[in-house]
Structure formats: structure tokens, C-alpha cells
Amino acid sequence: MHRALFVQQDVTVHPTSNDFPSPTYGTFMRWRRPVAICTQVALNPTEAAKSAHREPTAPKTLLDTADRRLHDICQGNIMAASLLLPWAAVALLSYLVYQYLNERRRLPLPPGPKPLPIVGNVNDFPPIDMAEHQHWAKHKDLYGPISSVTVLGKTLILINDQQMAHDLLEKFASKTSGRPSMVFANEFCGYDKTVISQGNTEVFRRYRKLMHRELGTKAAAAHYYQAQELEVNRQLVRTLHEPEKWLQHFKTTTAATILKMAYGYIVEPHEPDVLVSLVDKMTTEFSLATVPMAWPVDTIPLLRYIPENTPGVTFKKTARKWRKSIQDAGWVPYRFVQRQMDADSQRPSYVSKLVQQCKNNDTSTLRQDDEEAILWSAASLYGGAADTTVISLTAFTLAMAKFPDIQRKAQEEIDRVIGTDRLPSFDDRDRLPYINAVIKETLRWWPIAPMGFPHTANEELEYNGYRIPKNAILLPAVWGFLHDPNVYREPHSFEPERFLSPRDEPDPTSDVFGYGRRICPGRFIADSGVFINVVQSLAAFDVSAATDSAGESVGIDAKPMPGILCYPAEFPFKITPRSAAHVDLIRRAEKEHPWEASDAPLLET
């Protein structure tokens, strides 16, 4: 989260996407101006409305185009907000004054920077060009292991101590497993059906139960090894033909694997796929819709009652379009599986297995709540796994280019244990301790979500003499935990040996994959997917630093990008086959696993 929580945001483009916005809401958590628009609207609605009409500069890039798009949306929303002011502003300010005076009589919040009257710490959020974890890390030195900031009565709790994070998010899980509530995203767009947006409700627990049944154990994850290995084999072939698209190949492989696992669906092998495009569109819109407090209706819920045809009101029209996207992303692949099952031609998948398990034996029908749980938990798999896996593989590439000695040690283990006449498989994993250590070190060195995924307190609670208000957002400083020099020796170095004897430093996965009831249900699938990609990539290719025109290596800057999900900034590198024998090995894999025809023509969109 950044300064100016109530404004439009930049769209983050990362090196895997060919300048297309990354389709995960965490990558959009950046803010543009240093003053909150809602504060401006509340105090001076006339000036706010005028400000909404100021045209941004002409778009020059896709970033600017996306920025202009959200500017136009925000412009219409501000115009709508001005229709209910000033009386709505008076009500809001009165409520905030009441909250401000009432809080002074309670237990103190965790320490933090001194807030301004009413608006709170609006100026204490990270600047737009700084990763959140780097900004909030200063709070540990300034305020101790737990601190807080408030904006317009909403509290953000920053947890900079690993044990405190486990206490609050695991021991108090019954009280801290909520998600931030968003009127625009959940009520208007319909994203409340997805697992990531669900509060700690009975519906959420039902979704989790199904996902745990099919994905939540190592034994369950093993059922998908064949699909994962096949898609990585094909990734090696793509890389052989187009090595410059190495990072984009990670994204293709991840999409193909998840859609096959979830629906038994085969993507287009050599061109854009209609289902991948549909789901990417939905996740991009989800990213824009779920920016906390970016939409005025989230801060002033009375705006929900403005008629859609009111001049200047755009957020309801936008929500209607985005609601269709989430419905299509859920129902189109689900109905594909239904038709395949009716014809008895389905491939084994998450959906087909659960449908068969949940059908009534007498009527061969599904209860509505079972169908919705299967449908929306499946739709959540893509959004939950796509970017997270790609981030880990991108960080792995960065580490191999930056630390070539580590790559040589890993390849030496593969050659010694497996040889060079075949590609590694899952059966080899227990015999490759250094490769497993490389994967753990990748997760520690570059955690996917440096400030974790936001939890909310379902009720007010007391911790260490401090008050955690109801609906407070709790953020654990995961990056800080995994770079603590008191726990990990030389934490900024990439050293897989730290997880081997005699060092045996703590396993990072207990912090990487979330906490308590919000722990990632697909963590074993994610782990196996990263393993097979890393080990086969190291077996077949060399990753090295790029060179300039003089043949000198180009320096690599491992700069993290802002966002809840943290991609490395673009960095130069090159990919080459290890030898002619390894090229033959890849071509042999292509012959053993020929390309399959896509299922795209069977979709009904």
C-alpha cells in the first residue's frame, strides 16, 4: 500500500509479460498522488470536481494507456461523489471525529508516526517508486517489532517480528483470518466468489475443504506431476527456438499447467489461446478493482445508491462489464468440462473429479452449493498460482545469472546423480539435496509477497498491551523475517548451503506460503511446479549475465518492484543450451511428447 490510498494507480509491467499488465492484483498496489482524493472531495467538492476534469498527458505507452483508463474511471467516480456532497462529507467527518475522540479512551494502538487530525497518516505511506517492504522496514528501528498507521479511521498494523506474526496470524487465527471488505470489487463486480476475496466465512471454509482434498497434501499434488513435467518439457522446446522469450515461456507453461490441472484443458501450443486471454482479462480487471480504497464507493458506501444513469456515474457501468468477465472466467471452462463429461470424453481434472465425488448417486445431479464451490474454487486456482510461480522462476533466473558459481554446483549435482542422457524427473528429487536447497534459497532470497497477503481482524483484540481494532489490516514483514541476520547468515547473499548440514538454517516455507487459515492451499502444487522447472532448466540450459558490445558482462541490479506480489525489475541475461548433446536431449523430448491440438474450438464463449 502506498501514499494516497484513494487515487488511481500505475500499472506495473514486468519482464515476463511483453509489456502487458501483470494479471495479479498485488502488482497493482501502487499509488500516484501524495494527497488523498477523498480528503479533497470531503473538504472541497467543487475543486475536486474541477480537478477530475483535468486531462492527463497523451498516452505514449501501454502503461500510460492503462493509467489514462483508470484516470477516466476515477474522474466519473469523483463526479458521482460530488452529487452527494457536502452532506455526505459532513456525515463522514462527523463519524471520523467521533472515532478519533472515542479511540483516545481505549488501549493504545501499536506505536507509529504521529497522525494528522482526522486524515491520519496519509503522508506516511511509501512513495510510488519504492517497494513497500523497503519503506515499512524502517518502522522496526523507529517503533519496534509492531507498529501502526491510520488513514481516515482505518488502521494498518505492521508486524516486524516473526514470532509476533505467527502469534497474531496463527494462534489468533479465528480472529485474524478475514480479508479487507471492498464494496466495488465484491458487491458490484462479484469478486466475492473467489477464494482470495472471501472473508473467514462458511463459504470460504467449504472452498478450502475442496481445495485441500484435491491439492492440499503431497500425495494429492503427486497426481499432477505428469502434467507439470510434460509442460516443462514443452517449455524447453520453446526456449530452444526462442531463448529471448525465456521469462514469457514461464508464463505460458504456468497457464497451460493450471488449466490442464483444473479443467483438463489443452491450450493453443504456438499462438494466443482464447481461454488464457479470457482469464488474463479477468485477473487484470480484478487487480484494478481490488486496490484498497481506490474507489470512492469503498470509502463512501452511500454512493452505491446513485442510479447508474446519473450523469457522470461510471463505476456501475464498469462493474457490470467486469462482472461479466468474472462470470465468463468461471463458467466457460466449467461448462467445457460438463460437456466433456456428458460425452464421456473428459480428461482427469480438479473439476471432473469433484463433480463425480459430489454428485447425488440417485439423481446424478449436483446441489447448487456444491456446484458453486467447485466452479469458483477452480476459477481461483489460476489467479492464485499464475504470478506467484512465475515470480519464483524469475527470481531463480536472476540468482543464476548473478551467482554463476551456484549454477555450476547445481548442474554438477544433476550430472553426477542423473547423467546427461535423460532429463531429471520427480523420481530424482530425493537424490538432489543441493537442488532442493536452491529452491528453498530462491523462496527465502526473493519471497513472493514481501509483506504477505493482507489479513483483517474479525473482532477487536488485545496483544502485548496494544489494541488491534476490528477490521484493522495486518501485514507481516515477510521479507524482513527472511533477511534477518540474527536468523540467516549473510542474508542478502544467495547461499543454498545454508539449508544443508552443518548450517541447517530455518526452512523459509512457513512464512512464504502464508499463515493460519490463509495458508496457500496449493503450496504443494506450487513447490512441485517450481522444482521440475528449475531442475530441468538447469539440466538443459546455462543462464548467464548479458554482455555488451565489447564482450564484457553487464551488471545486474536486483531491484524489487513495488506491489503486494514482488517481481524483480527487468534485468539483462542470456540463455544458451549447455551443449549439442543437450540440444539433442530436448529434441528427443519433443518427439516423445508431440504437441496436442488445442481445446479452444470446443469452448462456448
Q: First-to-last CA distance in the chain?
A: 36
Instruction: Give the Å distances, CA to CA, from 572 to 174, 469, 544.
Output: 45, 46, 9
Are the CB atoms for 562 and 1 separated by under 8 Å?
Answer: no
Q: Which residues pair with 149 in a beta bridge?
A: 156
Other CB atoms within a 10 A radius of the CB of residue 55 amount to 9
Instruction: Give the Å distances, CA to CA, from 210 to 196, 350, 529.
Output: 15, 10, 20
Report the DSSP pairing between strands 154-159 and 466-468: unpaired
Nearest 5°: phi and psi at 492?
-85, -5
At which residue does the C-alpha cell 462458511 appear?
202
C-alpha cell at 96: 471520523
**Structural Rg of the chain based on CA atoms:** 25
At which residue does the C-alpha cell 466495488 appear?
184
For 216, residues 6+ apart whose C-beta sits below 8 A from its C-beta are 521, 522, 524
Evaluate the omega torsion of the peptide bond into residue 476 and state whether it is cis, within 30 degrees of 0. Answer: no
How far is it, in rounded angstroms, from Cα 117 to Cα 120? 6
How far is it, in rounded angstroms, from Cα 396 to Cα 190? 35
C-alpha cell at 324: 461479466
Instruction: Return the DSSP state at 594.
Output: P
Helix axis angle, 315-342 to 274-289, nearest 10°: 140
Q: Which helix (H) or strand (E) holds 92?
A: helix 87-103
How far is it, in rounded angstroms, from Cα 85 to Cα 430? 65
Measured torsion, CA atoms of residues 590, 417, 247, 507, in degrees rounded to the nearest 10: 140
Instruction: Return the DSSP state at 151.
Output: E
How far is it, in rounded angstroms, from Cα 491 to Cα 58? 44
Does the annotation list 189 as a binding residue?
A: no
Question: Which residue type sits at 377?
Answer: S
Instruction: Give the Å distances, CA to CA, from 206 to 201, 372, 376, 399.
Output: 9, 10, 11, 39
3-state secondary structure of 156: strand
Other CB atoms within a 10 A radius of the CB of residue 308 amount to 12
- Which of 502, 510, 478, 501 has its CA nearest to residue 491? 478
At which residue does the C-alpha cell 540467516 appear?
488
C-alpha cell at 275: 481461454
Other CB atoms within a 10 A radius of the CB of residue 517 amount to 17
Binding site for heme, residues? 520
Binding site, residues? 520
